[in-house]
Chains A and B, each alone.
Chain A
């Protein structure tokens, strides 16, 4: 679903965090301090961490990422799971290190490592995400007076492949979050706006609620907090939904 590929430098990472609600570097650092209560800090094993990562385990994470790239999500996964990121391994597999002349390898290695370490540090304290994607909106169901935002369905998975890992993101409250209740009279207006085969974009706010490590990349569970739907052609706002907590 997401096509962003490749390693992104720390500068881009900071830019990725720089949306309207994204934390600035200062708040990112502050959040990083707040997240010092990590698995390693408490002396827990990486295996024991997921069991403890239930509701509220990430409550002290206040930072937000806006449309993070794949690499950032991999960094975030390692941070949430409390697993030390294999930075040295990533450095050796980086094409900039692999294909640079031998005489320049040491310098390039240090440069790439600094980038990665900066990226890892930037996601500390992140507890919320805001993503834009296709809503995959269903047609109106008059039986229940609702559209279904299938991008938020329980089966929906957003994947972030980077650095030999694939981190998945799921919506723990998708069962109810996907339902957009609309009175029949308004529904017709919305259908007219969208048109046949319309393309609707989704801008969704998410709170991180859990992480499940797995070989090759784990799964980050999130709770949908709110979302906006827009018609892609006209840019018209179709709806703004705030989920009850």
Chain B
């Protein structure tokens, strides 16, 4: 079983700020989260959220043009708002950006699988969330914010990562550089204030899309649903030895387990508002292809190793022709 290895917090200063360019550009994609070219210089100056999004997104065609074969009719539903395992990095980024005009994709290098890449850079995933206005601050303002944050932390103040009406994504990918494909995806949606759906309606919507869950739990007012399948795409029932082995993760901030013994796993969590347990505050839905992800990592490692072996063999061959002889 492979475990997602959080390699530490990395400041994501290189926010997506690219425009245009080829969707197939591996280097550009790696730098900008999958779309467009690397910006010549970091954008500066005040800008509205729309302007920031425009700088970052470039030309986005919606609906996204998907070349990956569609899911077989008999296969389990495995997409989160159109993003599903097996899609290319670029396709997934395109679909995600089409979910909102302000949605911005950012390559995430702060987490990923701990694997030998032989010096190559693999795009192991991206985050996406709505663009925020860019405001240039004075040193005095920055100091004041830092002080406010410190006081808030000292008082255990609750600071939500998301605001009502916003959504965010994490999409994990794996493959040789430029050929990465989705192995897992998760999305969190905070419902707009005053427009919160009922918990029951959200649950029903999930059941309508994904079918009868293999696990349905309610705890602390939250609803937890799971649709787990074995590698032969058979639902994992509670009598299966895999029932407690194949679990998913609904949160975009969570890790992911990959086992070749498990297939597609969709997980969902619905959380109620604090003042009315019948209304949904936010919802998380995640999907992972465990066996597919495991195989993708294994195949990528093997291919990278093969490339490295060939590089070394070539160097040795060239050294036999051109290298200097030692002076003895």
List residues of A whose CB falls within 8 A of some B CB: 45-48, 50-51, 138-139, 141-144, 148, 150, 153-155, 174-176, 212, 214
Contacts and interface: CB of A to CB of B under 8 A. Distances in A.
A235 to B, nearest CB: 25
Contacts of B276: none
B3 to A, nearest CB: 13
Contacts of A150: 241
- Minimum-distance CB pairs A-B, first 5: A47-B309, A154-B260, A138-B241, A143-B237, A141-B239
Interface of B: 1, 231-232, 234, 237, 239-242, 259-261, 291, 302, 305-306, 309-310, 312-313
Contacts of A212: 302
A138 B312 CA distance: 46
A143 B259 CA distance: 22
B158 to A, nearest CB: 40
Given A142-B239, A175-B232, A47 B306 contact: yes
B239 A175 contact: no
A139 B239 CA distance: 8
Contact of A153 (B234, B261, B306, B313): B261
A62 B260 CA distance: 30
Contacts of B232: 175-176
Contacts of A141: 237, 239-241
Contacts of A153: 260-261
20 contacts: A47-B310, A47-B312, A48-B310, A50-B306, A139-B239, A139-B241, A141-B237, A141-B241, A144-B234, A144-B240, A150-B241, A154-B291, A155-B1, A155-B260, A174-B260, A175-B231, A175-B232, A175-B260, A175-B291, A214-B305
A148 B241 contact: yes
A51 B305 CA distance: 11
- Interface majority SS on B: helix, strand, loop or mixed? loop
A212 B302 CA distance: 8
A143 B239 contact: yes
Contacts of B240: 141, 143-144
Contacts of A47: 306, 309-310, 312-313
B241 A45 contact: no
Contacts of A144: 234, 237, 240
Nearest to B263: A175
A222 B101 CA distance: 51
Nearest to A49: B309
Given A47-B306, A141-B239, A141-B240, A155 B259 contact: yes
A155 B261 CA distance: 6
Nearest to B311: A47
Nearest to B309: A47
Contacts of A155: 1, 259-261
B143 to A, nearest CB: 51
B306 A51 contact: yes
A190 B215 CA distance: 29
A51 B309 CA distance: 12
Contacts of B302: 50, 212
A175 B231 CA distance: 7
A45 B313 contact: yes
A175 B262 CA distance: 10
A135 B111 CA distance: 37
Contacts of A154: 231, 260-261, 291
B120 to A, nearest CB: 17
A50 B304 CA distance: 13
A47 B231 CA distance: 31
B231 to A, nearest CB: 5
Given A141-B241, A212-B302, 6 more contacts: A45-B309, A45-B313, A51-B306, A141-B240, A144-B234, A176-B232
Nearest to B232: A175
A176 B261 CA distance: 11
